[in-house]
Chains A and B, each alone.
Chain A
Amino acid sequence: GENVGLHLPTLSVQEGDNSIINCAYSNSASDYFIWYKQESGKGPQFIIDIRSNMDKRQGQRVTVLLNKTVKHLSLQIAATQPGDSAVYFCAETRRPLSGYSTLTFGKGTMLLVSP
């Protein structure tokens, strides 16, 4: 089948630990980035976003860090809970002055949280 030999990168943590999920993006011209969370059987859900003129942005229990020099994003989840178990995707785009620009999604990382 199409899944043979292909597995998502997986991060396994214990409940209460801090989790760090990494993403390398491809387009140096991208200026807007989003993290999405996808639980089993559901569609991706927005978590947090960041613009290229920022290095860091914090939400509730989540922090996104952006390193434009090496084209790297990370999502930090504090005090990880079993409900955080999901696949996490980063997405990038370059926003035009007018109109709409579409998102390019990364392949995703699976986060498994053990009680």
Chain B
Amino acid sequence: DAGVIQSPRHEVTEMGQEVTLRCKPISGHDYLFWYRQTMMRGLELLIYFNNNVPIDDSGMPEDRFSAKMPNASFSTLKIQPSEPRDSAVYFCASSSHTRGGRSSLGANVLTFGAGSRLTVL
């Protein structure tokens, strides 16, 4: 398996522009997570999906952020309009309750993508 695939790896944009980040989870995983990482706040959960349905979006900073999962193999995180304070590394992660990716304790383990580094000027 190629793991969780994110694109783009790097994005530099100007304030006010729309940004779309993409994620392909591991095939068969039924949970998908979007995290944001900054030095100030560390890793923050933005939103997660189960079977393509958003379960908890309480971490989404504000209305400028939206996430979708139109099918089991694809998700997007969109920022419109972008602001300099959105600059961060955005990670997508997936896990499965029923298939693989379990630790020896039986707990499902998050597998992270390599991240998308966003810089908003």
Residues of chain A touching chain B, judged by Cβ–Cβ distance below 8 Å, are 2-3, 6, 8, 32, 34, 41-46, 48-51, 89, 95, 100, 102-103, 105-108
Minimal Cβ-Cβ distance residue in B for A93: B107
Assess whether A43 is in contact with B103, with CB atoms less than 8 Å apart: no
Assess whether B43 is in contact with A89, with CB atoms less than 8 Å apart: yes
Q: Which of B26-65 contact A (CB under 8 A)?
A: 31, 33, 38-40, 42-43, 45, 48, 50, 55-56
Stretch from B14-22, B69-77, B108-116 at the A interface: B108-116
* A residues in contact with B115, CB < 8 Å: 41-43
Assess whether A102 is in contact with B45, with CB atoms less than 8 Å apart: yes
**Contact among A43, A89, A100 with B93 in the assembled complex (CB-CB below 8 Å):** A43
* A residues in contact with B113, CB < 8 Å: 43
Assess whether A105 is in contact with B42, with CB atoms less than 8 Å apart: yes
Minimal Cβ-Cβ distance residue in B for A43: B112
Q: In the bound complex, what is the Cα–Cα distance between A44 and B111 (angstroms)?
A: 8
> B105 in the interface, Cβ–Cβ < 8 Å?
yes
Minimal Cβ-Cβ distance residue in A for B33: A102
Minimal Cβ-Cβ distance residue in B for A45: B112
Q: Chain B: interface residue count, which band?
A: 20 to 34
Assess whether B112 is in contact with A102, with CB atoms less than 8 Å apart: no
Assess whether B38 is in contact with A100, with CB atoms less than 8 Å apart: no
> B67 in the interface, Cβ–Cβ < 8 Å?
no
**Contact among A45, A51, A105 with B105 in the assembled complex (CB-CB below 8 Å):** A51
Assess whether B38 is in contact with A44, with CB atoms less than 8 Å apart: no
Q: In the bound complex, what is the Cα–Cα distance between A50 and B107 (angstroms)?
A: 10
Q: In the bound complex, what is the Cα–Cα distance between A71 and B52 (angstroms)?
A: 35
Q: In the bound complex, what is the Cα–Cα distance between A8 and B111 (angstroms)?
A: 23
Q: A41-B114, A44-B110, A49-B103 are in contact. List 10 more A-B contacts (CB 8 A).
A: A2-B39, A2-B87, A32-B107, A41-B115, A43-B113, A44-B112, A46-B109, A100-B31, A102-B48, A103-B45
